[in-house]
Amino acid sequence: MTRVYIQDVSLRDGMHALRHRLPVEKVAAIAAALDEAGVDAIEVGHGDGIGGSSLTYGVSGSTDRAWIEAAASVVKRARLTTVVMPGIGRIDDINAARDCGITSIRVSVLGSEGDVAIQHLEHARRLGLDTSGFLMMSHAIDPEQLGQNAKIMEAAGAECIFIADSCGRLTPRDVTARVDALRQALRPETQIGIHAHENLSLSVANSLAAVDAGAYRVDAALAGHGAGAGNAPIEPFVAVANLYGYEHGADLFKLQDAADDLVRPLQTVPLQVNRETSTLGYAGVYSSFLRHAEAAASRYGLDTRDVIVALGERGLVGGQEDMIVDVALDLVKVRQPA
Q: How many CB atoms lie within 10 A of CB 275?
A: 10
- pLDDT for 279-295, tens place per residue? 999 999 988 899 899 99
Q: How many CB atoms lie within 10 A of CB 42?
A: 28
CA distance readout (Å), 24 to 45, 78, 104: 11, 19, 20
- Cα separation, 85 vs 51, in Å, equals 9
- Cα separation, 154 vs 168, in Å, equals 25
Is residue 231's pLDDT more than 90? Answer: yes
Q: Could you tell me if 238 and 250 are in contact, meaning their C-beta atoms sit under 8 angstroms apart?
A: yes
User: What are the residues facing 161 on neighbouring strands?
Assistant: 133, 192
- Cα separation, 53 vs 67, in Å, equals 13
Percent of the chain whose pLDDT exceeds 90: 85
Minimal CA–CA distance to 76: which of 130, 24, 38, 131? 38
Is residue 113's pLDDT more than 70? Answer: yes
| Residue 16 annotated among the catalytic residues of the structure | yes
Is residue 338's pLDDT more than 60? Answer: no
Minimal CA–CA distance to 197: which of 235, 169, 161, 176? 169
Question: Could you tell me the pTM of the whole model?
Answer: 0.92
Is residue 42's pLDDT more than 90? Answer: yes
- Cα separation, 97 vs 18, in Å, equals 22
Q: Could you tell me if 162 and 153 are in contact, meaning their C-beta atoms sit under 8 angstroms apart?
A: no
Tell me the domains of the chain and their CATH numbers: 5-266 (3.20.20.70), 275-335 (1.10.8.60)
Is residue 55's pLDDT more than 80? Answer: no
Distance of CA 308 to the CA centre of its chain: 19
Residue 17's pLDDT band (cuts 50, 70, 90): confident
Percent of the chain whose pLDDT exceeds 70: 99
Phi first, then psi, for residue 43 (nearest 5°) are -100, 135
What pLDDT was estimated at residue 265?
Answer: 95
CA distance readout (Å), 313 to 163, 282, 295, 308: 22, 11, 19, 9
